[in-house]
Amino acid sequence: MTDLVAIARSLFVDGKGILAADESVHTATERLAEHGISTSAEMRRQYRDLFIGTKGIEDYLSGIILFSETLLEKGNDKKLFSKSLAARGIAAGIKVDLGTEPFPESPRELITQGLLDLPERLVEYKKQGAEFTKWRAVATIEGDRLPSNTALHENAKRLASYAKESQAAGLVPIVESEVLYEGKHGRARTKAVVEESLEVLFSMLNEYAVDRASVILKTSMVLSGEKSGKKDTPEEVAEDTISALLKVVPKQIAGIVFLSGGQTPDQATENLAAIVQQAKKVGTPWPLSFSYARALQDEALSIWKGKEENVSAAREAFLSRLEKVSVACKAKVLADNCIISTFPVYS
Ligand code: 13P
């Protein structure tokens, strides 16, 4: 097994997942503002410390994705964040895309930027302690018109080019293909778009000769749009998500993690539990886990409000959500006779 495959597999230990703590300066500013917190570089560092500095996270997290700024910073314990993660057996990851911009050929869609100086940046991130990377592409649903074929292809091409560069630099790539939850579309339309975007993505990864065994897919769950007026049951989400993934995702990849995408923490937890149960029931070739930002952070942020006196209560809320998501990820509640042991877990 190559080092990259070993790192990719180590992120899928039973019951553990990945915290996405890689909000750009712009997104972190928005996130904190939603909770009445005004931003500065020091406030962003404290925001990261709130989560990374929580004792016991190593019971639930195999990795944390950081933003470039954080990789160079120290926590309140005066240790580099990357070093304090390594000491607890948590792999440090890094967001390497430089965000999205309107796609010139179809301006209501978004295209991800950041390929230009990527090889040089990857070398630096590796020196700074990163073991894996993430690049996020998004697909917008608008009736049957969007996403356009050209936007899906261009985003997939950039994801594949990034994944190839990341592997060449000795870093495990997480290819994130997010189908946005915003919109009035139904679940069937989301399913079709998830299938189409992943089909295009995997054919592009093939074209770029990306090694599948050390690639991790980060994907959306198959949900009805936020403004559809429909509330999907966890069983409906689970059936459609697993059926879409089984149709288009090659069996050789290292594993699949889900983003929370704007779901409430409870919704993201319940849907994950149902998805993992469904995976065990039908038998899937890849391990599944979580890589949430909002669903893991929101409750803690609303308690913290940027105040020192709220740190311990906020950390308790964070740990409590982590524990619930971890239980969901193990799908312990499933009746024994439904479990099929072909669901792989690396240990
Ligand atoms: P959410 O879980 O908030 O969707 O974030 C995941 C992520 O990494 C987005 O890039």
- pLDDT per residue as tens digits for the range 207-232: 999 999 999 999 999 999 999 999 99
Alpha-carbon gap, residue 267 to 308, rounded angstroms: 29
Answer yes or no: 235 catalytic: no
340 within 8 A of 283, measured Cβ to Cβ: yes
Alpha-carbon gap, residue 17 to 262, rounded angstroms: 18
Residue to mutate (ligand 1; options 292, 297, 322; most atoms within 8 A of CB): 292
With a 6 A CB cut-off, is 8 part of the ligand 1 pocket?
A: no
With a 6 A CB cut-off, is 242 part of the ligand 1 pocket?
A: no
Answer yes or no: 324 catalytic: no
Question: Percent of the chain having pLDDT more than 70?
Answer: 95
- pLDDT per residue as tens digits for the range 38-75: 999 999 999 999 999 999 999 999 999 999 999 999 99
Alpha-carbon gap, residue 54 to 275, rounded angstroms: 28
177 within 8 A of 217, measured Cβ to Cβ: yes
Of these residues, 109, 176, 270, 299, which one is catalytic? 176
The token duo for 46 is 């404290």
Residue nearest to atom 8 of ligand 1 (CA): 20
- Strand, coil or helix: what is 258? strand
Kindly provide the b/e burial profile for residues 77-95, where b requires at least 16 CB atoms within 10 angstroms of the residue's own CB: eeebbbebbeeeebbbbbb
Q: With bands split at pLDDT 50, 70 and 90, how would you rate the model's confidence at 347?
A: low
pLDDT for the residue 2: 83
288 within 8 A of 276, measured Cβ to Cβ: yes
Of these residues, 95, 218, 280, 324, which one is catalytic? 218
Q: Which domains does the chain have, with CATH numbers?
A: 4-328 (3.20.20.70)
- pLDDT per residue as tens digits for the range 65-124: 999 999 999 999 999 999 999 999 999 999 999 999 999 999 999 999 999 999 999 999
Q: What is the distance in A from the centroid of ligand 1 to the CA of 294?
A: 7
Sorted by sequence, the CB contacts under 8 Å of residue 120 that are 6+ apart come out as none
pLDDT at 279 over 80: yes
Sorted by sequence, the CB contacts under 8 Å of residue 179 that are 6+ apart come out as 138, 139, 141, 190, 193, 194, 197, 220
Alpha-carbon gap, residue 104 to 120, rounded angstroms: 27
Look over the chain and give the mean of its residue pLDDT values, rounded to a whole number.
Answer: 95
197 within 8 A of 177, measured Cβ to Cβ: yes
Q: With bands split at pLDDT 50, 70 and 90, how would you rate the model's confidence at 339?
A: very low
Alpha-carbon gap, residue 109 to 146, rounded angstroms: 8
With a 6 A CB cut-off, is 222 part of the ligand 1 pocket?
A: no
Calculate the alpha carbon distances from 50 to 25, 304, 312 in Å.
17, 9, 9
pLDDT for the residue 116: 97
**Which atom of ligand 1 lies nearest, measured to the CA of 65?**
8
- pLDDT per residue as tens digits for the range 147-182: 999 999 999 999 999 999 999 999 999 999 999 999
With a 6 A CB cut-off, is 292 part of the ligand 1 pocket?
A: yes
pLDDT at 15 over 50: yes
25 within 8 A of 71, measured Cβ to Cβ: no
Residue 277 amino acid letter: Q
Q: Beta-strand (E) ranges in 146-244?
A: 172-179, 216-219
Q: With bands split at pLDDT 50, 70 and 90, how would you rate the model's confidence at 334?
A: very low
Q: What is the distance in A from the centroid of ligand 1 to the CA of 338?
A: 31
Residue 310 amino acid letter: N
Q: What is the distance in A from the centroid of ligand 1 to the CA of 45?
A: 19
pTM as predicted: 0.96
Calculate the alpha carbon distances from 342 to 1, 128, 168, 227 in Å.
20, 37, 31, 37
